[in-house]
Amino acid sequence: MTIQKNENEIIEFLTKRGLYTRIPIEYTFESDSIHFPKIDIFCQKCNKRSTFVLDEEQCFIDKMKVLFRAKRSGMRVFKPNHSGLVGLERELPQINPLNNNSILAIKMKCARNYDHLIFFIFLVIDGYLIKIGQHPSIEDIQSPIDSKTVKIITEKNYSELRRARGLFAHGIGIGSFVYLRRIIEDLITETTKIAIVENTISKEDIEGKRWYEQIKLLKGYLPDIMVDNPIVYSVLSKGIHELTENECLQYFPTIRELIELIFAEKVAMEEKEHRIKEISHKMSAINSKIKVSK
């Protein structure tokens, strides 16, 4: 069986879409092959990112084991008879087991260690492949929140980011958007306080402004990637009040990645500021010793 779908779409579906999300598919049995692309995800047992490949001997359609034999034209499909799996010696006619309401279960294994596994279960219905089961979860196969980010992010925002990722993993899109929006609000609010203390802006400058406008006003304080994408708050708000669960689930990975990049840039900004202060202090110490003229 060959699923006729862009490979990148399937990879995103496997690695970034939560439960109960779906993709439209077409499939043929012309090559008697079943194919899922390899995926690059975080392996909890390796504690690093790793490549996972399809375990060709552990695929099931409606409790029927699909057995494969390597062949240049693809992996040949065999079906079980009443006494067990048909032997490899005799090739059976093509079969089309993937019907409407079929359940497809696959297992993928880590290229570093074949005992490290991930499982997916799909429902095929009305031309769609729906993800109805996955272990480990989407949350677990994402790279952990960077340790440097953990040091600068508030405990509240860290908890909210974890909750957003967890809700997404369980197919809850609108709820996940609520927590992401809180993070954006906190970033703007805390940054505004700093800018006001430094007299860069006043309370009057910010009062009555929409979040989009506030982000623009805080250029130089907020990470550039946030200033360049000020619609992030508006997108999250529209998701909470107007979009469907499926639409929120579809857009969640992009918004989550943007927020993680915002924190990564914030870390880089703070590290740069620390290094500038450190080098300035060292230069002052040198000058106090050798007394150079200006």
291 within domain boundaries: no
287 within domain boundaries: no
DSSP code per residue over 198-223? TTSS-HHHHTT--HHHHHHHTBTTB-
42 within domain boundaries: yes
> Mind listing the pLDDT tens digit for each residue in 44-78?
899 889 999 988 766 777 655 554 433 333 433 33
Q: What is the pLDDT of residue 95?
A: 43
Question: Where residue 156 sits, what CATH number does that domain have?
Answer: 1.20.120
45 within domain boundaries: yes
Q: What is the pLDDT of residue 4?
A: 55
CA distance 157 to 137: 21
Residues 17 and 99 reside in one and the same domain = yes
Residues 112 and 234 reside in one and the same domain = no
82 within domain boundaries: yes
Q: What is the pLDDT of residue 28?
A: 53
Residues 12 and 63 reside in one and the same domain = yes
Residues 174 and 47 reside in one and the same domain = no
Q: Domains in the chain: how many in total?
A: 2
- Residue located via tokens 């989550």: 256
Distances (CA, A) of 27 to 4, 96, 98, 249, 290: 5, 10, 9, 25, 77
User: Quick one: which of 64, 2, 56 has its CA closest to 29?
Assistant: 2
Residues 203 and 259 reside in one and the same domain = yes
CA distance 18 to 33: 26
Residues 76 and 199 reside in one and the same domain = no
> Distance between alpha carbon 169 and the CA centroid of its chain, in Å?
10
**Residue ending a domain, choose from 141, 161, 176:** 141
Q: What length is written for the chain? A: 294
290 within domain boundaries: no
10 within domain boundaries: yes
Gap between the terminal Cα atoms of the chain: 77
**Residue ending a domain, choose from 117, 141, 165:** 141
Q: Please, what sign has the CA dihedral across residues 45, 46, 50, 56?
A: negative
**Tens-binned pLDDT, residue by residue, of the chain (294 aa):** 555 567 888 888 898 888 888 888 766 554 444 578 899 999 989 988 999 998 876 677 765 555 443 333 343 333 444 444 444 334 434 444 566 778 888 899 999 999 999 999 998 888 888 999 999 988 888 877 777 777 778 889 988 998 998 898 888 899 999 999 999 999 999 999 999 999 999 989 988 899 999 999 999 999 999 999 999 999 999 999 999 998 998 899 899 989 989 998 988 888 898 899 999 999 988 988 888 766
The domain of 213 spans 147-280
Residues 163 and 271 reside in one and the same domain = yes
Kindly report the backbone phi and psi dihedral angles of residue 233, in degrees, each rounded to the nearest multiple of 5, phi listed first: -65, -40
285 within domain boundaries: no
Residues 196 and 213 reside in one and the same domain = yes
Residues 173 and 133 reside in one and the same domain = no
Q: What is the largest CA-CA distance in the chain?
A: 96
Residues 130 and 215 reside in one and the same domain = no
Residues 119 and 153 reside in one and the same domain = no
Q: What is the pLDDT of residue 240?
A: 96
CA distance 120 to 109: 12
User: Model-level pTM greater than 0.75?
Assistant: no
Q: What is the pLDDT of residue 58?
A: 65
Q: What is the 3-state composition of the chain as percent helix, strand, coil, each rounded to the nearest 5?
A: 45, 25, 35
- Contact assessment for residue 65 and residue 80, using Cβ atoms and an 8 Å cutoff: yes
> Mind listing the pLDDT tens digit for each residue in 191-216?
999 999 999 999 899 888 999 999 99
Residues 114 and 190 reside in one and the same domain = no
**Residue ending a domain, choose from 108, 141, 174:** 141
Q: What is the pLDDT of residue 101?
A: 78
